[in-house]
Structure formats: structure tokens, C-alpha cells
Amino acid sequence: MRINPYKPKDFDEFWESRVNKWMVDGIRSCVVSQTNIGATTLIFCYIDFFGSLLKRRGSPRERFYIMVDKYFAPYNKKYNTYKCTLYENFRCSLVHEGIMKKGTGIFRSDNPEDRDYQHFGNHNGALFLDLIQLSNDFYSAIKDLKRDIDSDKKLKNRVLKRVRDDLKWSLPEEINS
């Protein structure tokens, strides 16, 4: 059955159509087609977005950090260690300038030519991220966030308020907690 992303019947349908189909599948499509900068840009934009669901008020940096701390650091503590670099040199540079700042780069662990690189590895003085690992960590973080939303009524209400009031995304009024 096809879900209408503009008229979800409930929160789960909203999540499936807007998050899984639009966001997650968009990243997967970029990864599969080896549109590496596109996938990386989307991941960092969406980290910022999902952070805004956790912390409605505050700077984009604060919202980015809260998402990294809570949902990425459990998979690799280096996300927390390098969150400032991730925000400034990846997220801000890609979103505002269209390129990564000098001293950063991405590689793919599924590419034999990239076998000398490591996720959060220093290669010739530059911090490199493995797009495959980054995308897998993103998918896991989003699943963990959904689990927390489903189990925490207060968080779910905060997310619903952000989605309805701030983003003006269509959700039936009867969808509450």
C-alpha cells in the first residue's frame, strides 16, 4: 500500500513516508550511486534536523551536538571527540560553501583504492570519514531515535509540536502521543 507523504494517518506513517522514504532512502540512493558528496551533505543536514527534534530552541550547532552526543557517540566515541570539526568542516562547509574545508575528506571502505584510510583516521594531516560507516551509523542513529520517540511520551509530544507548529508538516490533529 502506498503512503501519501502529505496526509499521513498516524505518526508511524509520517515517519515511514517522511523520514524513511524521503531522507534515509535519499541517502541510500546517493551511497549506491556513489554520489559521495551528496550523501555526506544530506547526512550532516539531517543530523542538524533531527537534533532540532530533540532541542527545539537553540543554535544549529547545539542541535547538531545533541544529536551527535546522544545517537552517534554510542557507535563510536570519536563522533563526540570530533563533533566540532564535523559541524564546522563538514556540515557548515558542505551546506554553505558546497565543499569540505581543507584538512577533511571522505572515502569509501568498499573501494579497494581507499584501503589506506580509516574512519576518523588522520591521512596526511587530514581527518577522513568513511562514508559507508558514516551512513550505517546514521541509519542506526535514526532507528534508535525512533525507538526513543515511541517509548518516551514527552519526547514524542516535543517532536509532534516541532513537526506541526514549526515545520508546518501535515499531521492529523488527532495524532497526539
Could you give the angle at the alpha carbon of 104 between the alpha carbons of 102 and 110, nearest 5°? 140
User: Which structural domain, as residue segments, surrounds residue 16?
Assistant: 11-104+117-166
Is it the case that residue 142 has pLDDT exceeding 70?
yes
Share above pLDDT 90 across residues of the chain, in percent, rounded to a whole number: 55
Please give the pLDDT value at position 160. Answer: 85
What average pLDDT does the chain have? 88
Please give the pLDDT value at position 177. Answer: 44
137 part of a folded domain:
yes
Higher pLDDT, 75 or 17: 75
62 part of a folded domain:
yes
pLDDT tens per residue, range 83-137? 999 999 889 888 888 888 888 999 999 988 888 888 988 888 889 999 999 999 9
Alpha carbons within 13 angstroms on the beta-carbon side of residue 5 total 9
Neighbours of 55 (CB within 10 A): 16
- Whole-angstrom CA distances from 177 to 12, 52, 167, 173 are 12, 18, 18, 11
49 part of a folded domain:
yes
Report the domain count for the chain. 1
112 part of a folded domain:
no
Q: What is the mean pLDDT of residues 66-71?
A: 97
136 part of a folded domain:
yes
Sign of CA dihedral 68, 58, 24, 36: negative
pLDDT tens per residue, range 5-64? 566 777 888 899 889 999 999 999 999 999 999 999 999 999 999 999 998 788 999 999
Please give the pLDDT value at position 121. Answer: 85
166: DSSP letter: I
